[in-house]
Structure 1
Amino acid sequence: MGEGYFPLVSPTAVEGILGAVPSISKLRGTNNDDWIDRLNHRYTTLLLIIFAVVVSTGQFVGEPIQCWCPAEFTDAYEAYTTYICWISNTYYIPMEETIPIDIRQRQDAEITYYQWVPIILLFQALLFKIPNLFWRFTHSASGLNLDKIVAMSEETQLGSPEDRAEAIKNLAIYLDKWLGTYQEYRNNIFIRAKKKAQTFCFFMCDRRGGTYLVGLFITIKILYMANVIGQFFLLNAFMATKYNLYGFEVIKSLIDNEPMMESPRFPRVTLCDFQIRQLQNLQRWTVQCVLPVNLFNEKIFIFLWFWFCLIAFLTAINLLKWIFYQLYQNNKVQYVKKYLKTNNVMNSGFDKKLCAKFSRDYLRSDGIFLMYVISKNSTNLVVSDLLRELWKIFKDKHKPRSNNIDDEPMMNSEKEPLDGNHLLHSSA
């Protein structure tokens, strides 16, 4: 068979293909989530794009398919056979089985996916990125620019001690205004019922209830979980096989020490039917073809099966951890108390009682979530200093009343504050 039916791509063109892949910095986005989320939307997305480039290179560099042709075929016939078998769907019949005479049985055995593998890999990458895009477009509705808060927290570690202390103080003042802006100013039976419901129904994204960011964050994690599970069903439909059992078959072959036989999912040797019109005569030919690209596809999809299982396991554990953390309210108080004790700012029994109010009524779920995000994307030292400043602001607002009589307002005999008119009448 002649060679070079598919034009070779020059090294410059290959560099152009690789250069078209988004850089890591563009895929990375901003650090306002945790590492499990980044494992989904950043590293898995990048991995799928790399695989798509590898498969595309295998299709456009060299010959993705080679067909055995009869001796009477000329070079033009061989070139036509190679092209027509690549763009049409070949079908797989095991060597020990007879090729069916019924054309419909051959069509039922067609392999329809191998030309579209790069597209499906890019589509999978997009699905892994969508929850992160939804998070980035919706978290700002909390009234807080989370990206800038995290960036400012990171920048505080680079300046002098004086600049750092000033930056932490300014950041605490800003957060105090944000926390105060979205507080409930009424305390009727409906507000109390809503607060009680939010203890268990943390998906209620309520800014004034202090659960918007946390509810949205857990919803995004549910989307990540649904996406990675849905990937198995997507590949089942794409390859028309039970892809969700693929990894178990590989494990079984490794345990039994059996060599990987010709895979019906990724066959290397297939059959191709095509017709050639000569005047009014139609000649039907059946040739045997080799798909070298399926050697790459098989290894890629084996790896992806195990990778998706790992991602699904870690995402499920992370989701359950966050749900438990929200249901068990004492965890939030202990989280804040740990940092306050580190700063030695809890010096009395009154401070210990006030710490619970500081955590539940002042910071609330969104404020503590913000501290968690800052700690995961900068250092615990920044969170410690920031909580110390917020504690000072909060404590100034909740100072115990002074026992000094000079600090108390003047009272009349009916225990009402005396104003200037009372003083004038007395002097008269």
Structure 2
Amino acid sequence: MEIITNKLFNIDLSFLKLKINTVYTDNQIFRLHYRGMTVLLLAFSISVTAYQFFGEPIYCIQRDDIPEKLLNTYCWIEGTFTLPKAFNKKVGIEVVYPGVETSEPEDQVVVHAYYQWVCFVLLFQAVLFYIPRYIWRSWEGGKIKKLCLELTKPVLKREEKETQRDMLVNYFLDTNNNNGSYALRYFFCEIMNFINILGQIYFTDYFLGQEFTKFGPQVVKFTMTEQEERLDPMVKVFPRMTKCSFQKFGSSGDVQRHDALCLLPLNIVNEKIFVVLWFCFVILAALTGLNVLYRLIFMVSSAARYTMLRSLCRFSYKDEIEKVLEKLSHGDYFILHLLAFNIHSAHMKEVISKLAEGLHGRKPSSAEESMRENSALSVP
């Protein structure tokens, strides 16, 4: 009985354990794209979807005998509209709400039907932000994780540490000057991130009727203007009250037109989402552009590579780092840079030392060893 009970209740819950990745193959800017923006856009998409399909996204008001549910459904599907001529009129005196006024057949109207697609557009944008990450993972193939072995841990047995260190050094000696394609593929994915964020800005601008690119500055200006003089720029893009025209046949067979006022509470959510996205897109575009420039500098400047590797390998000797960089191409340096970012500094010191010996084919003399000890002590 006890054996049967153990079998019944011995449930394997290992699938619930969160697996935390301790080996990174990209930088913080890259992770902002596929982690920060993808998660943010998915959260926005889910919230809009919940409000749109499980709430009441539109309320239409009319005095005729049209069923309320029918009118709401029709106006939601066909879209509502505002009148540009009514945006600058005084609310409560000339108009009931900015953009809402009695319309004439010749009046210019702005139709608002995009809000039906917001949840899908946000989901599509989230997928676009993850594509460069997916491509890089396919190309990278877990190479850095395999090279790190167990050297990411601060404490290892001496035999195990020396074996893994020697395996890593031998890899660099065997593949010296043959890792250029690895670095170029990563740089290509960074270029994809930059193109994607710029494309996202102009795609969103097109989706919102060429209003998104100037959305952020207008919102900032709105918050700094006196309340009596300001017009909320978000009202034009995301109106909270609009008009809807419903047409049906009358009792005599003629076409009857019924105008209705429609409240769009969903736009209160939409406007906040796209304000946040404007600032996120602009800041991330600037950071990504600087990151691409940073990568170009490291491709052409050996001094920049030395400075970065020196900061990552703080326990290593200066002359050993210089000797290593003398023999390594940019592709080899890029892999060494990723390893230095993931491997513990104490282990990386020995890797650099052995790699310098292997690349130059000799061991340092006792005098050189003493000089390096003194220089290392003088480094803050």
Is residue 27–residue 42 contact of structure 1 (8 Å, CA) maintained in 2?
no
After TM superposition, give the deviation of residue 378 of structure 1 in Å. 4.5
Report the Cα distance in structure 2 between the residues aligned to 1:230 and 1:345, rounded to whole angstroms.
43
Is residue 224–residue 315 contact of structure 1 (8 Å, CA) maintained in 2?
yes
Q: How does 1:4-403 map to 2 (within 5 A)?
A: 31-70=24-63, 72-73=64-65, 77-93=67-83, 94=86, 95=95, 98-102=101-105, 105-106=108-109, 109-139=110-140, 145-150=143-148, 152=149, 155-157=152-154, 159-179=156-176, 183=177, 208=178, 210-258=179-227, 261=232, 263-277=235-249, 280-333=253-306, 342-344=315-317, 346=319, 355-356=322-323, 358-361=324-327, 363-396=328-361
* Identity over aligned pairs, percent: 26
Question: Which runs of 5 or more residues in structure 2 are unaligned?
Answer: 1-15, 87-94, 365-380
| Higher mean C-alpha displacement, 251-260 vs 335-344 | 335-344
Q: 1:307 to 1:253 in 2, by over 3 A?
A: same
Amino acid at match of 1:120: V
Higher relative contact order (CA 8 A, sep 6+): 2
Q: TM-score, normalised by structure 1?
A: 0.68
Q: 1:288 to 1:27 in 2, by over 3 A?
A: farther
Kindly provide the CA deviation profile for residues 359-381 of structure 1, in whole angstroms up to 9, marking residues without a partner as x: 243x2111211122223344444
After TM superposition, give the deviation of residue 83 of structure 1 in Å. 0.8
After TM superposition, give the deviation of residue 254 of structure 1 in Å. 2.0
Give the SS at the match of 1:240: coil
Kindly provide the CA deviation profile for residues 122-170 of structure 1, in whole angstroms up to 9, marking residues without a partner as x: 1111111112222222345xxx8234335x2564436445433332222
Amino acid at match of 1:318: N
Give the SS at the match of 1:138: helix
Report the Cα distance in structure 1 between the residues aligned to 2:192 and 2:326, rounded to whole angstroms.
28
Give the SS at the match of 2:236: coil
After TM superposition, give the deviation of residue 102 of structure 1 in Å. 2.2
Q: 1:339 to 1:243 in 2, by over 3 A?
A: closer
Is residue 45–residue 128 contact of structure 1 (8 Å, CA) maintained in 2?
yes
Q: 1:213 to 1:291 in 2, by over 3 A?
A: same
Is residue 165–residue 350 contact of structure 2 (8 Å, CA) maintained in 1?
yes
Report the Cα distance in structure 2 between the residues aligned to 1:291 and 1:341, rounded to whole angstroms.
58
Is residue 315–residue 346 contact of structure 2 (8 Å, CA) maintained in 1?
no
Amino acid at match of 1:273: S
Amino acid at match of 1:80: L
Q: TM-score, normalised by structure 2?
A: 0.76
Give the SS at the match of 2:259: strand
- Cα RMSD between the aligned structures? 3.2
Amino acid at match of 2:103: P
Report the Cα distance in structure 1 between the residues aligned to 2:314 and 2:19, rounded to whole angstroms.
40
Q: 1:340 to 1:66 in 2, by over 3 A?
A: closer
Kindly provide the CA deviation profile for residues 373-400 of structure 1, in whole angstroms up to 9, marking residues without a partner as x: 223344444433322232232243x679
Kindly provide the CA deviation profile for residues 264-314 of structure 1, in whole angstroms up to 9, marking residues without a partner as x: 000000111122245744322110100000000001100110111111121
Is residue 27–residue 46 contact of structure 1 (8 Å, CA) maintained in 2?
no
Tell which structure's C-alpha radius of gyration is larger. 1
Amino acid at match of 1:176: L
Report the Cα distance in structure 2 between the residues aligned to 1:254 and 1:289, rounded to whole angstroms.
26
Is residue 236–residue 243 contact of structure 1 (8 Å, CA) maintained in 2?
yes
Amino acid at match of 2:272: K
Amino acid at match of 1:309: V
Report the Cα distance in structure 2 between the residues aligned to 1:121 and 1:28, rounded to whole angstroms.
27
Give the SS at the match of 1:105: coil
Q: 1:235 to 1:309 in 2, by over 3 A?
A: same
After TM superposition, give the deviation of residue 343 of structure 1 in Å. 4.0
Report the Cα distance in structure 1 between the residues aligned to 2:49 and 2:21, rounded to whole angstroms.
23
Amino acid at match of 1:50: A
Amino acid at match of 2:210: T
After TM superposition, give the deviation of residue 228 of structure 1 in Å. 1.2
Report the Cα distance in structure 2 between the residues aligned to 1:284 and 1:368, rounded to whole angstroms.
72
After TM superposition, give the deviation of residue 345 of structure 1 in Å. 8.9
Is residue 310–residue 316 contact of structure 2 (8 Å, CA) maintained in 1?
no
Amino acid at match of 2:168: L
Give the SS at the match of 1:237: helix
Q: 1:27 to 1:382 in 2, by over 3 A?
A: closer
Is residue 211–residue 237 contact of structure 2 (8 Å, CA) maintained in 1?
no
